[in-house]
Amino acid sequence: MMTQKSLSINVGGRLMTFETPKVMAILNVTPDSFYAGSRNFDSDRIGAHVGKIIAEGADIIDIGGYSTRPGAPEVTAEEEYNRLARGLEIIRRKDPDAVVSVDTFRADVARRCVEEWNVQIINDISGGDMDPEMGATVADLRVAYILMHTRGTPQNMQQLTDYRDVTAEVIEHLARRIYSLRELGVCDIIADPGFGFAKTLEQNYTILREFNQFKRLGVPVLTALSRKSMIYKALHTSPDEALAGTVALDTVALLNGADLIRVHDVRPAVETIKLLSLLNASKC
C-alpha cells in the first residue's frame, strides 16, 4: 500500500488519518440498487445491516437514498431525504458517534442531513455538476466532501465515454474541481475517479492499472469497485457473484495507493487491509 502518511481529513472535529486505509461501508436505503443484496428499505433490515457493518469494523457508513446505477429512475428530493432520515435515525440510535457519509448530489438534501443528523461527510457522485450550490453548501457546513468524477447523469452517462487519455483527463477534471473547492473554502476533500460512471469496461481497468497517478492530487483517494459491472460483466456472472472479484480489485487499488475502499462487504475489506498491512510490515 502506497498511502501518504501526511494525508488526513477533519470529520466532525476528529482527525481521520490514512496511514492505514479506511473502509467505507455502503448502506443503501433504496428499493432498486444494482446489487439486490444491498437493498435495505424497511427499518428492521436497515437496523440489522447497520449493526452488522459496525460490528465488522467499518470506519465510515455511507448512506444513500437514490440509486445511481446506469438508467436509474429519478427520485424527488423529498423522497430521497425521507429515505435517508429513516436510515440516519437508526444509525444514530445504534452509534451516535459513527462517522457517516451521505451519498447525495443535492445541496439541500446534504444540508438537512448535516444539520439534523450530524453527518460529517458528503459523497457527491456528480462532483457538483448536478447542483451548482453544492460547493458553497459544503463550505458553509464545514464538512468533508467526496468529489467524484463522472459525466452527464445516471440516465445518460454511459453514452459519454469519449476520452483521448482517460486517466489523464479524469485527473485533470478532479484537479480543477479541487482548486475551485479550495477557493470556496472547502478544506477536507477526498477524490474518487468514479469507476463505472461515464467509463467503458476497458477504461475502468486502465484507471485501475494507473491508479497510483491519482496520488498527484494531494488529497486522499477513494476507490468504489464493489460488485460493479466491470467485475461481473468481465466474468459473465452477476453482482451476487462478484465478491471475490471485488476483493481482488480492491487489493490492486490498495497496492496502488487507495486511501479508502467503499464496499458492500465490510469484513472481507477489513481483512484485506489487515493482511496487506502485514505484508508491508514484513518488508522492514
How far from chain centre, in Å, is Cα 17? 17
Tell me the residue length of the chain. 284
pLDDT score, position 182 = 98
Cα gap 226→214, rounded to integer Å: 19
Q: Measure the CA–CA gap between 190 and 195, rounded to whole angstroms.
A: 15
For 192-221, how does the pLDDT look when each residue is reduced to its tens digit (9 = 90+)?
999 999 999 999 999 999 999 999 999 999
Q: How far is CA 20 from CA 23, 63, 226, 260, 272, in A?
A: 10, 23, 19, 9, 11
Cell triple for 251: 487489493
Please choose, from the candidates 238, 234, 260, 218, the residue with its C-alpha nearest in 3D space to the C-alpha of residue 25. 260
Which residue type is seen at 36?
A
pLDDT-derived band at 284, boundaries 50, 70, 90: low
pLDDT attached to residue 1: 56
The predicted pLDDT at position 107 comes to 98
Determine the average pLDDT of the residues in 254-270: 97
Catalogue the active-site residues: 228, 262
35 has pLDDT over 50: no
pLDDT higher than 90, residue 222: yes
What value, to the nearest 5°, has the Cα angle with vertex 252 and ends 191 and 145?
A: 15
- pTM, rounded to two decimals: 0.92
pLDDT(180) > 80: yes
Q: What is the pLDDT of residues 106-163, one digit of tens each?
A: 999 999 999 999 999 999 999 999 999 999 999 999 999 999 999 887 778 888 899 9
Q: Is 191 helix (H, G, I), strand (E, B) or coil?
A: strand
H-helix or E-strand spanning residue 235: helix 229-235
The torsion region of residue 189 among left (phi > 0), alpha (psi -120 to 50) and beta comes to: beta
Q: Is the pLDDT of residue 39 over 80?
A: no
Domains and CATH numbers, the chain: 8-281 (3.20.20.20)
pLDDT (tens digit, 9 = 90+) per residue, 66-89?
876 665 677 899 999 999 999 999
Neighbours of 241 (CB within 10 A): 13
What is the amino acid identity at position 84?
A: L
